[in-house]
Amino acid sequence: MVVIIVGCGKTGRSIAEQLNDEEHDIVVIDKNAEVVESISGSLDVLGVVGHGASYSVLSEAGIENADVLIAVTESDELNLLCCMMAKKSRDCATIARVRNPIYHEEIAFIREELGLAMIINPEHAAATEMARILRFPSAINIETFSKGRIEILEFELPASSVIADKSLAEIGRMISSDFLMCAVERGDDLVIPNGNFVLKAGDKINIVATPANSRAFFKSIGLETNQVRNALIVGGGIVAYHLASQLISVGIEVKIIERSMARCEELSRLLPKATIIHADATNQELLIEEDIENCEAFVTLTGIDEGNIIMSLFAKNRSKAKVITKINRINFYDIIEKFNLGSIIYPKFITAEYILRYVRALQSGKDNNMITLHKIVDQRAEALEFKVPDNSSMAGKAIEDIDLKPNILIACVNRKGKIIISNGKTIIKAGDSIIVVTRDTNLRNIKDILRHKEG
């Protein structure tokens, strides 16, 4: 597919990298010639220097052949204008990044009136992911499927756990709640485990379960299942605003530390139920004064990654708080993941994931049956939700009789709202939606999970 990306910042580059890995034809547009040269030189993409809302620039980029235009400049209004020009020029699918909170309640109206395929707000999406984690603090990450009926939760196995040094088969006999361990990360190794696999302390484990059964599972192995009661947020930007709003709505006390007096005054008006503190949170004494040692959640949301990392490490050292760290730059992703920073949130990855799911679905055309896509296990695996069509060769078969590709696991089935955690005997029926976990990061259609692809 031909994809034009307007805006070559961190988000634009991340999207270009992901789509380029899937062998799409990518053209990037940016007003900064050095940025265009950098991204076109490091990736196999074409670059055009110019204004993304200009018809002549879009023509130079090949808008007449484009399937998708993605606008992720720093300006919401420019992004929307780029999409409007693309729709008039080609009527291709258009995606805009819109970040300003004033548009949040109007997203559906804007999308419909401008005919956009998608509007993405990375800050709101990141805040939603953080709020979900703070409602279940033992999890590192939580991804949801089937409108929240199914979850994949990642957690690190403590040495004191009753399931450490036990095989999955033994654990299944020990714990009565219905769940499936679908992926385990041990050091640099990623395993889709079978019943003989033995868990070790420090493993990062992903389980599939309903929300009720995931809570029962965590409770049975002695991990916290109740949401935090209070949160200390460092940085008062857009993510902080969205996160605080969501936490306050579920009864969590929120305190925000922000170094800009003007922003503090604005937040005080926007969030009257939050405590807003004008101060520099990089001062350790201030964090101690604000009772970091007894807070239940500590979230670093400044625009400086190094500061976020240092403050999170300090919180991990001085408290038992659930720590969440926002990272903007992804250049040192592999190194950052080795720090003990609690849950790490990359808004750029979240944005790229949304777009990747849409582009894959668009590529499948009329045969599209992908519902949801999430990157899991530090971006090394994917969990996808597919609808089983009436004509699928899988319909009516037990999972053990389906000729799946290697490293593919059908983890769960949603049958008209009834959730079935899978085993080899589970029968797949037409109309089911299934959750697939895989190390293959290029699945577009349910047919792609089969060793011998259907015609």
pLDDT digits (tens, 9 = 90+) for 381-431: 999 999 999 999 999 999 999 999 988 999 999 999 999 999 999 999 999
Tell me 246's DSSP state: H
User: What pLDDT digit, counting tens, does each position of 152-176 carry?
Assistant: 999 999 999 999 999 999 999 999 8
Q: Note the pLDDT tens digit of each residue in 425-447.
A: 999 999 999 999 998 877 888 99
CB 58 within 8 A of CB 86: yes
* Pair 175, 222: CB distance under 8 Å: no
Judged against a pLDDT cut of 80, whether residue 306 lies above it is answered with yes
Range 52-79 average pLDDT: 96
pLDDT, residue 115, reads 92
110 burial (CB, 10 Å; 0-12 / 13-18 / 19+) is middle
Banded pLDDT at 452 (limits 50, 70, 90): confident
Burial class (CB in 10 A: 0-12, 13-18, 19+), 190: middle
Share of the chain above pLDDT 70, in %: 98
- Confidence category of residue 190, pLDDT binned at 50, 70, 90: very high
**pLDDT over 70 at 330, yes or no:** no
Nearest alpha carbon to residue 308 among 326, 285, 292:
326
Is pLDDT of 182 > 80? yes
- Per-residue tokens: 236: 């008062």
- How far is C-alpha 112 from the chain's CA centre? 25
In this model, does residue 11 exceed pLDDT 70? yes
CA 8/CA 69 separation, integer angstroms: 13
DSSP state of 399: G
Sequence-distant (6+) residues with CB within 8 A of 232 are: 255, 257, 290, 292, 295, 297, 298, 299, 321
Judge whether 231 and 252 are in contact, CB under 8 Å.
yes
pTM to 2 decimal places = 0.85
pLDDT tens-digit map of 353-370: 888 888 888 876 666 788
| Average of per-residue pLDDT values in the chain | 92
Closest CA to 162 of 221, 219, 224: 221
Cα–Cα distance, 382 to 443 (Å, whole number): 9
pLDDT in tens, 248-273: 999 999 999 999 999 999 999 999 99
- Looking at residue 331, its pLDDT comes to 67
Confidence band of 451 (pLDDT split at 50, 70, 90): confident
Residues 356/364, Cβ–Cβ less than 8 Å: no
Longest dimension (CA), the chain: 66
